[in-house]
Amino acid sequence: MCGIVGYVGNKTAQNVLLSGLKRLEYRGYDSAGIATLDEDKEPHIARSVGKISELEQVLSAKPHTGHLGIGHTRWATHGGVTVTNAHPHHVGNVFLVHNGIIENYKELKEQLSSYEFKSDTDTEVLAALIDSNYKDGASLKDAVAKALKEVRGTYGIAAFSPNEPDTIVVARLGSPLIIGLGKDETIIASDASALLGYTREAIYLNDGEIAVCNKDGAEVFNLNLKHLSPNPETIEGDVEQIQKGGYKHFLLKEIMEQATTLPNTLSGRVDAKNGTMHLGGPNLTTKEMRDVRHIVIVGCGTAYYAGLLASYYMEQLIPDITTEVVIASEYRYRSFHLPKNSLALIVSQSGETADTLACLREIKKRGIKTLGIVNVIGSTIAREVDGGTYVHAGPEISVASTKAFTAQVVTMLMFAGMIASYHGGNAELIHKFAKELSILPTEIEKCLNDHRAEMEQLAKKYAKYNDALYLGRDTAYPIALEGALKLKEISYIHAEGYASGELKHGPIALVDETFFEVFDILDNWLYDKSLGGLHEVRARGGKAIVLTNSKADIEADDIVRVDSKIELLMPILLNTLQQLFAYYVAVERGNDVDQPRNLAKSVTVE
Ligand code: AGP
């Protein structure tokens, strides 16, 4: 969703801000802007609707020369997508960019009736509130702190004033802000990827903190202005990871690089020889691992489906634990009860998803231990869980999640393997999973290379359809759901995932020659039952694509057969084919593959 960048130093702020905003493009946005202060302390604002390239055009007509500034990509919440609603907002002596939502902005707007508001945004109200406190000798920091005490909602903000021309004030509550400490420069961003290439040293602001930044660094305070001394942390990753690396789209790069990122997920955690798995991050005592009886897995979208697939594996591996997989946006408001000896796995690529974060906090209130299965290092969820494990998929830029899904499933599987060994789990089965995990990267690579061209051809054939059903049984069911999600979000084809056994309970009524169906069929003990719906669909004119590792004769319109040593983890391989299929369908339909309409990479508001 929205992104923030700020810069104070010796470079031309405009260039740093634009390059930072481009790095944040992937998060999803509909307008952008920057505000800078020039050498004569004169402020300048440039804003535009649409892509950063539009903003660049505005700036090329009238470049900004100053060395301090703030920038923003906006994903509309209050007010339409217009230049007036785009950030930065300027009220009185204050220039402000803001991520998040000010819930009581209407009340505040009434209190601030002496101001003339130009936009429909909550952010302009916050700017006015800060300005109204910026008087009687108060510094910008004082004014921001005072204003934020009156605010209900969430925010990550960056503000400056021509009155204090060397300073940017930032603050956060529920929306990330990172302060990069460079040599004679300080770069602020809502996402560490914007800092790569400038510095590796950064302060991750915590909720309820405010910082005063200048080119020599930053001073951090709480909202009562008590001075704090946070330790700077190291930012991981490098610029190459957030570039397309020769691929046309980030999505294709991220699908194809699963074979190289997965070894990072597995590294030091699986011993295929001895058949063991171990994760250090959860930091559980032997007693805690033995005592656990219930595991709840929380996530949204793809993270939820990863949890669902992992729960099937957990049930196979751990004989005496119940698992429950929940959608965060529902669970946070349910009157849920978790038995004693529960553990919660909080699954999130971004580590910032508002609903998932809210669940984490609700679960913690109930005294249950929470473990993060998170990709983005230093993200809010990663910081608030009691323990956890990074999935180490590397930066995922494309809005549609692909390599993170695989890494999440694998990480939860390793967690299950570890717990299973304390619960009398079947050692042979644990060993088999460990062996398959150790060859998964090379098998994924083979699968992608063997079938990439085939999936492209299939996509060309099916791109004209407007409706699709994805069907799977047992461990292929979660990937049917995930396959349908992937297709709908980037191709805009209406697609639904179902458990194959549900076909007769309703969805088959939809099937006719205008539909195509993707059947994920595993060559396992449920093979015959998985074939069930196939004949029924074809009898009604529906077109059937089968993705399978079976070598048996199957009647279908198209069959993609995966030849692999992998058995138990076959759903992961079939899912990579679905990822390729969705990608090529979206390309064929001429869509914006990496930034599909209406979607944001991390959903930081409800
Ligand atoms: C996946 O392709 C989606 N864009 C979306 O469902 C995503 O998985 C969901 O919003 C959860 O995000 P998170 O993993 O960052 O919490």
For residue range 217-249, what is the model confidence (pLDDT) as tens digits? 999 999 999 999 999 999 887 777 888 888 999
180 within 8 A of 193, measured Cβ to Cβ: no
pLDDT of 88 reads 97
Q: Is ligand 1 within 6 A of the CB of residue 353?
A: yes
CB atoms near residue 268 (< 10 Å) = 8
**26 falls in which pLDDT band (50, 70, 90)?**
confident
Read off the pLDDT of each residue in 403-420 and give the average, rounded to a whole number.
98
| Sign of torsion over alpha carbons 533, 537, 539, 543 | negative
**605 falls in which pLDDT band (50, 70, 90)?**
confident
Which of 329, 331, 353, 375 for mutating ligand 1's site (highest number of atoms within 8 Å of CB)? 353
Asked whether the predicted pLDDT for residue 27 surpasses 80, the reply is no
> What secondary structure letter does DSSP report for 339?
-
Query: Edge-to-edge strand order for the sheet containing 515-521?
Result: 494-499, 467-472, 515-521, 543-548, 558-561
Read off the pLDDT of each residue in 79-94 and give the average, rounded to a whole number.
94
pLDDT of 530 reads 86
Token reading at 582: 């969705």
- C-alpha of residue 588 to centroid of ligand 1, in Å: 24
Bridge-partner residues for 223, per DSSP?
Answer: none
**299 falls in which pLDDT band (50, 70, 90)?**
very high
Question: Burial level of 104, CB count in 10 A (0-12/13-18/19+)?
Answer: middle
Token reading at 519: 């059947």
What average pLDDT does the structure give for the chain? Answer: 94
Where is average pLDDT lowest: 149-163, 509-523, 531-545?
A: 531-545
Asked whether the predicted pLDDT for residue 262 surpasses 90, the reply is yes
| Sign of torsion over alpha carbons 402, 521, 530, 307 | negative
331 within 8 A of 325, measured Cβ to Cβ: no
CB atoms near residue 280 (< 10 Å) = 10
pLDDT of 75 reads 85
Read off the pLDDT of each residue in 27-37 and give the average, rounded to a whole number.
91
Which run of H or of E encompasses 427?
A: helix 427-462
**606 falls in which pLDDT band (50, 70, 90)?**
confident
Q: Is ligand 1 within 6 A of the CB of residue 603?
A: yes
pLDDT tens, 441-478? 999 999 999 999 999 999 999 999 999 999 999 999 99
Asked whether the predicted pLDDT for residue 533 surpasses 90, the reply is no
Asked whether the predicted pLDDT for residue 388 surpasses 80, the reply is yes
Closest residue (by CA) to atom 5 of ligand 1?
A: 301
Rounded-to-integer distance, Cα 149 and Cα 61, Å: 40
pLDDT of 174 reads 84
CA triple 394-400-401, angle to 5 deg: 40
Percent of the chain at pLDDT exceeding 70: 100
Rounded-to-integer distance, Cα 362 and Cα 344, Å: 11
Read off the pLDDT of each residue in 182-190 and give the average, rounded to a whole number.
96
pLDDT of 601 reads 84
Asked whether the predicted pLDDT for residue 264 surpasses 80, the reply is yes
Read off the pLDDT of each residue in 436-440 and give the average, rounded to a whole number.
97
Percent of the chain at pLDDT exceeding 90: 86
pLDDT of 61 reads 93
Which of 349, 482, 579, 601 for mutating ligand 1's site (highest number of atoms within 8 Å of CB)? 349
pLDDT tens, 534-568? 888 888 999 999 999 999 999 999 999 999 999 99
DSSP string of 277-331?
E--STT---HHHHHH--EEEEEE-HHHHHHHHHHHHHHHHH-TT-EEEEEEHHHH
Rounded-to-integer distance, Cα 513 and Cα 515, Å: 6
Token reading at 57: 């055009």
SS (H, E, C) 29-51: CCEEEEEEECCCCCEEEEEEECC
pLDDT of 304 reads 98
CA triple 253-256-260, angle to 5 deg: 105
Rounded-to-integer distance, Cα 369 and Cα 356, Å: 15
Q: Is ligand 1 within 6 A of the CB of residue 401?
A: yes
How long a stretch of residues is the chain? 606
148 within 8 A of 223, measured Cβ to Cβ: yes
**570 falls in which pLDDT band (50, 70, 90)?**
very high
Q: Is ligand 1 within 6 A of the CB of residue 327?
A: no
The catalytic residue positions are 2, 601
pLDDT of 214 reads 97
**203 falls in which pLDDT band (50, 70, 90)?**
very high
Rounded-to-integer distance, Cα 408 and Cα 302, Å: 10
Backbone angles phi, psi at 196, to 5 degrees: -60, 135
Closest residue (by CA) to atom 16 of ligand 1?
A: 348
pLDDT of 245 reads 83
For strand 294-299 and strand 322-327, is the pairing parallel, antiparallel, or unpaired? parallel
* Amino acid occupying residue 191: D
Closest residue (by CA) to atom 7 of ligand 1?
A: 301
Q: Is ligand 1 within 6 A of the CB of residue 157?
A: no
Contact partners, residue 597, CB within 8 Å, separation at least 6? 492
Closest residue (by CA) to atom 4 of ligand 1?
A: 400
**Quick one: which of 197, 193, 241, 517 has its CA closest to 378?**
193
Rounded-to-integer distance, Cα 487 and Cα 492, Å: 7
- Give residue 541's region: left, alpha or beta (phi > 0; psi -120 to 50): left
- C-alpha of residue 304 to centroid of ligand 1, in Å: 8
